[in-house]
């Protein structure tokens, strides 16, 4: 049986905390073809190198600031204290490009990847440029940073964004899918990389276990059944099927980085709702967005 859930540490490779689906990953997932993710923790003055491959990449600081050398040109990414601090600068690099990522003070950085054929220019997207969307309403409110979506970034294959869900709220809801090329839907693999924290203002005791939950289930004859407890550093792969909700447990905020790409001709995020639950969208009419949003710098 193929494993779709990778708790922290189970997808590590040499100096990478996570290395899944990328060209040089030693941990290859059966049938996984279109997306990849690397995460590294850098000590002060540390660095990681990504050799040139036929894959496009987006460098996303999780905490800390970073310098990225792309073919001798250095780009400075003003980072953030953590993923709940609002948007951060990100850097897109095209195919067959070597990257050296370094940090003076140390921190953690994610790199979203996707095999690609067409080259697009390197682009620094500053935090101020990133479209911030408040999606849903009531207890389905969440905050989306759309730095790698088709409307915001010129790229070949992938769609990348990050989502913050306040404690007690549901996101990736109603359950939906994007596993077929048909009218109104595109076929896209998806990676969820999670982080969690005790909600701001909480009086939680020491040693608190910040958790959330992720659900994925079958939409056709292909079997998949995921009901995973997730924490900082965990990854869930969604090859197909209905997915959602991603649930922030009461008392704990949830973040996830989404990486999507597929084999179809269009770089679009077109989805179908589970017909049992799609009606929930209409229930948001007239409701306010959760006042805890937006999380900002």
* Residue 181 CB partners (closer than 8 Å, separation 6+): 187, 262, 263, 264
The neighbour count for residue 296, using CB atoms within 10 Å, is 10
Question: What CA–CA distance (Å, rounded) separates 162 from 139?
Answer: 18
Q: Bridge partners of 196?
A: 254
In a domain, 33, yes or no: yes
In a domain, 294, yes or no: no
Please name which of 50, 65, 58 lies closest in space to residue 106, comparing C-alpha atoms.
65
Parent domain of 175:
5-284
What is the model's pLDDT at position 297? 63
In a domain, 126, yes or no: yes
Find tokens 């276990």 and name the residue. Answer: 209
In a domain, 290, yes or no: no
Q: How many domains does the chain have?
A: 1
What are the CB-based long-range contacts (under 8 Å, 24+) for 69-76?
Answer: 69/99, 69/100, 69/101, 69/102, 70/97, 70/98, 70/99, 70/122, 71/97, 71/98, 73/122, 75/122, 75/124
What is the model's pLDDT at position 27? 85
Q: What CATH number has the domain bearing residue 187?
A: 2.60.120.10
Please tell me what DSSP assigns to residue 205. Answer: P
In a domain, 292, yes or no: no
Question: What CA–CA distance (Å, rounded) separates 144 from 166?
Answer: 12
**Tokens matching residue 174:** 């109603």
What is the model's pLDDT at position 26? 81
In a domain, 181, yes or no: yes
In a domain, 246, yes or no: yes
What is the model's pLDDT at position 155? 97
pTM over 0.85, yes/no: yes
In a domain, 289, yes or no: no
Could you read off the pLDDT tens digit of each residue along the chain, which spans 297 residues? Answer: 789 999 999 999 999 999 999 888 888 899 999 999 999 999 999 999 999 999 999 999 999 999 999 989 999 999 999 999 999 999 999 999 999 999 999 999 999 999 999 999 999 999 999 999 999 999 999 999 999 999 999 999 999 999 999 999 999 999 999 999 999 999 999 999 999 999 987 878 878 899 999 999 999 999 999 999 999 999 999 999 999 999 999 999 999 999 999 999 999 999 999 999 999 999 999 999 999 999 986
């Amino acid at each position: 049986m193929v494993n779709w859930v990778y708790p922290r540490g189970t997808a590590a490779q040499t100096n990478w905390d996570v290395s899944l689906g990328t060209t040089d990953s030693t941990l290859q997932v059966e049938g996984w073809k279109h997306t990849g993710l690397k995460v590294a923790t850098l000590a002060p003055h540390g660095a990681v190198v990504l050799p040139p491959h036929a894959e496009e990449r987006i460098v996303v600081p999780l905490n800390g600031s970073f310098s990225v050398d792309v073919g001798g040109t250095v780009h400075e990414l003003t980072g953030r204290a953590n993923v709940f601090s609002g948007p951060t600068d990100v850097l897109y690099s095209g195919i067959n490009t070597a990257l050296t990522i370094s940090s003076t003070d140390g921190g953690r950085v994610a790199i979203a990847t996707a095999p690609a054929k067409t080259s697009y220019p390197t682009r620094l997207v500053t935090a101020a440029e990133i479209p911030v969307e408040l999606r849903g309403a009531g207890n389905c409110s969440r905050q989306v940073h759309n730095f790698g979506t088709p409307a915001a970034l010129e790229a070949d294959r992938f769609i990348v964004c990050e989502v913050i869900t306040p404690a007690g709220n549901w996101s990736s809801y109603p359950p939906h899918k994007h596993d077929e090329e048909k009218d109104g839907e595109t076929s896209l693999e998806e990676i969820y990389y999670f982080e969690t924290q005790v909600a701001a203002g909480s009086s939680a005791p020491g040693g608190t276990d910040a958790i959330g939950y992720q659900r994925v289930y079958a939409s056709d004859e292909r079997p998949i059944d995921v009901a995973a407890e997730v924490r900082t550093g965990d990854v869930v792969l969604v090859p197909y099927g209905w997915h959602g909700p991603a649930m922030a447990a009461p008392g704990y905020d949830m973040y996830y980085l989404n990486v999507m790409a597929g084999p179809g001709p269009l770089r679009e995020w077109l989805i179908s709702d589970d017909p049992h639950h799609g009606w929930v969208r209409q229930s948001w009419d007239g409701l306010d967005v959760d006042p805890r949003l937006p999380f900002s710098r």
